[in-house]
Amino acid sequence: MINLTGTTISYIFNTSTFLQAIRKIRELAPSGWYFYIDAQNKLHFKKKNTVADHTLIIGKHLTSVKPEKRLENVKNVVLFVGNGVYKEYVRAGSITDYGRRVEVIQDKRVTQEATADIMADTFLDDHETVEIRTNVRVIDNNIISNGLGYNIETIKPGDTVQIKGFGSNYPESLWDVGIWNVTAWNYSISYATGTIMQIVSIKYTPDYVDLEITSKPVPVNNRIEDIYRNLEDYINKDNPSVPTS
């Protein structure tokens, strides 16, 4: 299942594997898009749902919740180095909140500034605020009575989750507001998970599933893979479209 993003981008693929191409397409897509491959080896590429696919309640569906806030991945300045493209992108509000945090993106296959704009904007949309990452355990409703538990077979990678049950007097977190003493960074972590988050990993057992959920989009790859792929792209960028025999 592959949905259309609604954007048009120019990019040259040369000597790339299928997985490398899919990961690059994710980088070229707007913020909030993700992909996964299901048990039938079918590719799913879609936009993150803005409402919760699953509402999980502590004490009814969940037996453990372990949230944490992560500042280390915040980036608010991008220096983009392409083929004839060298441009800086800045998010001033994030710099005010967290200080200047720079990321250098190098991709010599990018020859148009418009493509660099989309890639840099998507990256900054994904990284300009702090991340909440939470591990939860969901009990299967087949092994428990009295309306407790959850239908864990309905939970899929990329689905969105909202956790409730910490207490009714807590306000919902305001992750889109960067005002001192107002933003979610200043809130108690016990109700920061009221934000709608996305499932990045699922560990199945017969009686429960362990979920890792995050307030940020699903990560595509780690930094070492990025460096290796960018080097490989640069080496192969001028290869002929068809190898000789």
pLDDT for 236 equals: 65
23 domain residue, yes or no: no
What three-state secondary structure class fits 23?
Answer: helix
For the chain, residues with pLDDT lower than 50 are: 168-182, 184-185, 187, 189-192, 220-224, 227
Distances in whole angstroms, Cα of residue 80 to Cα of each of 104, 113, 214: 6, 10, 26
Dihedral sign of CA atoms 4, 36, 173, 100 in order: negative
Q: What is the CATH number of the domain that holds 207?
A: 2.40.30
Classify residue 168: in a domain, yes or no: yes
Q: Is residue 163 part of a domain?
A: yes
What are the backbone angles phi and psi of residue 160, rounded to the nearest 5°? -100, 150
Q: Is residue 190 part of a domain?
A: yes
pLDDT at 171: 46
The answer to the question of residue 55 being in a domain is yes
Yes or no: say if 220 and 123 are a contact pair by the CB < 8 Å rule: no
Task: Output the pTM of the full model.
Answer: 0.57
Alpha carbons 210 and 227: distance in angstroms, whole number: 31
Residue 159 lies in a domain: yes
Structural domains in the chain (count) = 1
What is the structure's pLDDT at 167?
54
* Domain containing residue 201: 51-70+130-216
